[in-house]
Amino acid sequence: METLSTARAHGGTQGLYRHASTATGTDMDFAVYVPDHSPGARLPVVTYLSGLTCTPANVVEKGEYRAACAALGLIFVAPDTSPRGPGVPDDPAGAYDFGLGAGFYLDATEAPYRGPYAMRRYIAEELPALIASAFPADATRQSIMGHSMGGHGALTLALAAPGRYRAVSAFAPIVAPSRVPWGEKAFTGYLGLDRAAWRRHDAVAMIEDGARLPALLVDQGDADPFLAEQLRPELLRQACAAAGIDLTLRLQPGYDHSYYFISTFMPDHLRWHAARLAD
């Protein structure tokens, strides 16, 4: 693991790191904030998954999470959204919603994306092991959250591994990617045309097929330009109601899809996580 930079912030250390990933076969960058703590202490970990086009820099620079993490004693991990580097295939037309910056937190099965686009395995297995070995992280106290495409990733990774994450939340998640243009494009490219295979990567479909979580917190801006066509939170509300999942879905008036929205409600989400990560 290579340390690219560190800086003091809110009584803790914000770092940016790089390592050679065995899951993707590429170098992967990730950010970690560690609050000051007693010698020998092991701290709970919140993993934050970013949305389309993002790198770890977006949340590091705009997410405004450090003060809350310092007060609550949380390690905050922000991985990248896709593999990158020479030879990593991108969208043939260079579109923003597929390929580089748009890995959709799944393991691709279709050429030429199969291999490097192993983001589910990277987030669920490789990165947590690295964090536990290199930082004062308590591997038994993990939670996950995300924004947009990252909200999709947080929901589906948690639904696929019940009990793994003590808390799950999302900002403006893509809840039913099989039914919206962003997801249909991504799933066709990464997973092929078999829609039955798509259901294992679609939060609403997973809940319909029996996956469960004890509780979810979701914030959504009602001025989000992607609300009606791409996000469709009403489908998550319906699925959770039918499954008996305790969903707190807050439609926030006047807020859009940006980090102004995320940073406003980030402390609420971190308090939600901290309460469930307590010993």
Place of tokens 């980090």: 259
Entry pTM: 0.97
Question: Number of H helices and number of E strands within the chain?
Answer: 10, 9
Helices (H), the chain: 56-62, 66-72, 119-121, 127-134, 149-160, 181-191, 195-198, 203-208, 233-243, 259-277
Which amino acid is it at 1? M
How far is C-alpha 264 from the chain's CA centre?
A: 18
Domain count, the chain: 1
pLDDT digits (tens, 9 = 90+) for 178-206: 999 999 999 999 999 999 999 999 999 99
CATH of the domain at 129: 3.40.50.1820
Q: Among the options 21, 82, 148, 169, which is catalytic?
A: 148
Q: Among the options 147, 152, 201, 257, which is catalytic?
A: 257
Distance (Å, whole) CA 223 – CA 149:
18
Q: Which domain does 128 fall in, by range? A: 2-277
Q: What is the pLDDT of residue 100?
A: 98
pLDDT digits (tens, 9 = 90+) for 87-127: 999 999 999 999 999 999 999 999 999 999 999 999 999 99
Residue 257 bears catalytic tag: yes
Q: Among the options 202, 224, 269, 273, which is catalytic?
A: 224
Q: What is the pLDDT of residue 56?
A: 98
Q: What is the pLDDT of residue 101?
A: 98
Listed in sequence order, the residues at least 6 apart from 11 whose beta carbon sits closer than 8 Å to its beta carbon are 35, 36, 70
Distances (CA, A) of 119 to 36, 49, 81, 216: 30, 11, 8, 22
Residues in the chain where the model's pLDDT stays below 50 = none
Q: What is the pLDDT of residue 279?
A: 76
Residue 147 bears catalytic tag: no
Q: What is the pLDDT of residue 46?
A: 98
